[in-house]
Amino acid sequence: MNSVLLHFSEWLQNTRWALAISGSTWAYPYVQLIHFTGLSLWVGTSVAVDLRLLGVGRRAAAADKPAAELSDALFFWNWFGFLIAVTGGFMLFATAASTFIVNPAFRLKVGVLLPLALIVHIVIQSQARAWDRAAVKPLVARIAGLGEILFWFAIATAAASIPYFEHI
């Protein structure tokens, strides 16, 4: 592990605000609430577009709205949710940064899965309009939608696995 990263982690978890969050009975749960609220907005709006790409919900009243229009309509809320999730996640990370930074599940989640999911997400947002113009939804659109959903499950699994790797 890079010593600069470890020193940064130790410094971060000893900042006044990180110690205040970790030392408070109420602050940590509220920060978790912030993180989970952001995740709900971000992942929820992403999965709505992914499901539209997969053809789910075509019989619903909102089915007239193609994936690109849905993506455009949810764009602000999607990235606002991302901002909230990252802010809350960083605050949670700061409370025990030197423990998280060496945790294999955390490193998988933040170092591998999350960047890949972001790439797929940005590709979907940029290509949705072209995919909607096609007479038949291209296979790559369905694969991208399914892939993003699977990435969210993988990220959630890695996140849930973090406590099991704390003492390795």
| Closest by Cα among 70, 8, 122 to 114 | 122
Q: pLDDT higher for 79 or 62?
A: 79
Distance CA 70, CA 31 (A): 30
Query: Are residues 123 and 50 in contact, defined by beta-carbon separation less than 8 angstroms?
Result: no
Is the predicted pLDDT of residue 6 greater than 60, yes or no? yes
Q: Please write the tens of the pLDDT for every residue from 77-89.
A: 999 999 999 999 9
Q: Please report the pLDDT score of residue 62 as a whole number.
A: 53
Residue 84 has a pLDDT of 97
pLDDT of res. 58:
62
Taking the CB of residue 112, how many other CB atoms lie within 10 A of it? 13
**Residue 135's pLDDT band (boundaries 50, 70, 90)?**
confident
Please state the rounded mean pLDDT for residues 96-123: 93
134: left (phi over 0), alpha (psi -120 to 50) or beta: beta
Calpha distance 144→125 (Å, rounded) = 11
What does the mean pLDDT of the chain come to?
91
Amino acid at 148: E
DSSP string, 111-146: IIIHHHHHHHHHHHHHHHHHHHHSSS--HHHHHHHH
Query: In angstroms, rounded to a whole number, what is the distance separating the alpha carbons of residues 4 and 7?
Result: 5
Residues 145, 120: contact at Cβ < 8 Å? no
What's this model's pTM, rounded to 2 decimal places? 0.87
What is the CA 156 to chain-centroid distance, rounded? 9
Place of tokens 């949810």: 74
Whether the CB-CB separation of 152 and 46 falls below 8 Å is answered with yes
Query: Cα separation of 21 and 23, whole Å?
Result: 6
Q: What is the DSSP letter of 165?
A: G
pLDDT at 2: 81
